[in-house]
């Protein structure tokens, strides 16, 4: 499968080298992007992270793990691979020390639910060991990714692995379309209008959305708007919040 780069090959952000690419066209209703981070910290570097966010992703750590600290507690190391669901409880700190090398698969809003029929409410506000969630599927992918060191190779490995599960995935339906439109428009669409257009009741749509995304459509729309505002503030730091919201 081919890979289309959407950013420059490497981008420095506070000593962290970031790369990101789009998936092959056949996977774009499942996967949003593939990413990589590399850095080398001589001493611990702490950032406040894990804001409210709508992302669902799998992440793999090949050198030093990330360190996570919750309020009032010390740092603890992440597992070698994690599945992170939609997050609404910010406040955790991330710590980095030593050589950091991660590979991330970010999914479309219902991508994980479609691919593996996972109840996404169980991953809401959670960072779970991937081997606990996908006990049969994950080990082969993690082993193959660990044997490679090039980002392009890891993207190819992950795409082939995901493609191998497509035949068992749930077909794309009207709730998936609603979730994708909410994500694409940063929550700036009428959920009830989308449900009417899809021919389903608001109650039915909310129940299925909650199962496959992990939160209600209304809450997901709020998260996407907040996430978009944070991204805009990062791009244009001189703008006020009122200007960003306009």
Judged by average pLDDT, the poorest of 74-78, 128-132, 234-238 is 234-238
Residue 97 reports pLDDT greater than 90: no
| pLDDT at site 104 | 97
| pLDDT at site 37 | 92
pLDDT over 70 percentage in the chain: 82
Q: Which of 144, 202, 198 is nearest to 174 (CA)?
A: 198
53 beta partners: 87
pTM for this prediction: 0.84
Strands 4-5 and 16-22: antiparallel
Indicate the pLDDT class of residue 240, thresholds 50, 70 and 90.
low
CA–CA distance, 64 with 144 (Å, rounded to integer): 18
Judged by average pLDDT, the poorest of 3-7, 43-47, 48-52, 102-106 is 3-7
CA–CA distance, 190 with 179 (Å, rounded to integer): 12
CA–CA distance, 121 with 48 (Å, rounded to integer): 25
| pLDDT at site 3 | 46
pLDDT tens digits along 54-63: 889 999 999 8
Residue 242 reports pLDDT greater than 70: no
| pLDDT at site 143 | 95
pLDDT tens digits along 13-53: 447 899 999 999 999 999 999 999 998 887 767 666 556 78
The separation between CA 120 and the C-alpha centre of its own chain, rounded to angstroms, equals: 13
């Amino acid at each position: 499968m081919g890979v289309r780069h959407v950013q420059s090959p490497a981008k420095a952000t506070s000593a962290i080298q970031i790369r990101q690419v789009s998936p092959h066209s056949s996977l774009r209703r499942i996967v949003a992007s593939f990413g990589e981070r590399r850095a080398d910290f001589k001493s611990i570097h702490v950032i406040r992270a894990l804001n409210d966010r709508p992302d669902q992703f799998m992440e793999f750590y090949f050198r030093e793990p990330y360190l996570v600290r919750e309020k009032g507690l010390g740092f603890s190391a992440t597992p070698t691979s994690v599945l992170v669901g939609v997050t609404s409880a910010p406040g955790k700190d991330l710590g980095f020390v030593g050589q950091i090398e991660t590979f991330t698969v970010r999914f479309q809003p219902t991508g994980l639910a479609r691919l593996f029929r996972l109840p996404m409410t169980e991953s809401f506000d959670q960072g779970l060991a991937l081997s606990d969630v996908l006990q049969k599927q994950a080990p082969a992918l993690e082993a193959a990714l660990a044997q490679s060191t090039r980002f392009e190779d890891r993207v190819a490995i992950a795409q082939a692995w995901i493609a191998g599960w497509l035949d068992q995935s749930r077909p794309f339906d009207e709730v998936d379309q609603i979730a994708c439109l909410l994500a694409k428009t940063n929550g700036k669409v009428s959920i009830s209008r989308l449900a009417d257009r899809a021919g389903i009741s608001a109650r039915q749509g909310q129940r299925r959305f909650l199962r496959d995304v992990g939160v209600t459509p209304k809450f997901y729309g709020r998260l996407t708007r907040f996430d978009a505002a944070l991204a805009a503030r990062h791009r244009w730091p001189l703008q006020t919040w009122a200007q960003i919201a306009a």
